[in-house]
Amino acid sequence: MYRICFVCTGNICRSPMAEVVLRARLVDEGLDTGIVVESAGTDGWHVGDPADPRAVAALNAAGYPAAPGDHAARRFTADRFAGYDLVIALDRGHERELRRLAPDEAAAAKVRLLRSFGGPDGAAGVELDVPDPYYGDDGGFADCLEIIETALPELLRTVRARTGAVG
């Protein structure tokens, strides 16, 4: 098994959206066996809460299967590093916190920023943070989803290279 965890702040907006989108892409490309995708938050404010309804609505509007009850927020702790091959931070604050939590250099080396995978234009010159839509309107969730989708082709290439998967 190759295990991936997306990490944002509370695990109710950005990281569950990225989890749903990557799972769907893995299914679309026939890569859904042997790869586990999960998400967590750097803080524990929302532990046990479902995904934000606005995140679910943005996912559904884009054709992704999601329901609030499909997700329960959890916190990423140092002991979780052992269970993942790749830990993907949604912004640089999350990246710093994850590297601080890492019990050793091998764990810290698992941390990557989602947007560092790039997109059609590559990562050069692109803002690397996925903006937090929580305090904004519904449009922020659609924008967040678009940013996540843009990074996925290169993330999928990375997963294929690391797992030897073909699809």
> Is 132 assigned a catalytic role?
yes
- 8 Å CB contact between 42 and 8: yes
Terminal Cα distance for the chain, rounded: 16
The CATH number assigned to the domain holding 7 equals 3.40.50.2300
Which pLDDT score is estimated for 120? 52
- 8 Å CB contact between 126 and 119: yes
Which pLDDT score is estimated for 33? 87
Number of domains in the chain: 1
From the candidates 14, 23, 74, 80, give the one annotated as an active-site residue: 14
- 8 Å CB contact between 167 and 31: yes
What Cα–Cα distance (Å) separates residue 25 from each residue in 12, 41, 149, 153?
A: 20, 22, 9, 9
Which pLDDT score is estimated for 166? 64
From the candidates 32, 85, 132, 143, give the one annotated as an active-site residue: 132
Q: Which string of DSSP letters, residue by residue, matches 86-102?
A: EEEESSHHHHHHHHHH-
Q: Which domain holds residue 35?
A: 2-163
Tens of pLDDT, residue by residue, the chain (167 residues)? 999 999 999 999 999 999 999 999 999 998 888 999 999 999 988 999 999 999 999 999 999 988 878 999 999 999 999 999 999 999 999 999 999 999 999 999 999 999 998 755 555 456 899 999 999 888 999 999 999 999 999 999 999 999 887 66
Tokens of 67: 């329901």
From the candidates 8, 13, 91, 115, give the one annotated as an active-site residue: 8
134 has which bridge partners? none
> Is 5 assigned a catalytic role?
no
Whether pTM > 0.85 for this model: the answer is yes
**Cβ count within 10 A of residue 106:** 10
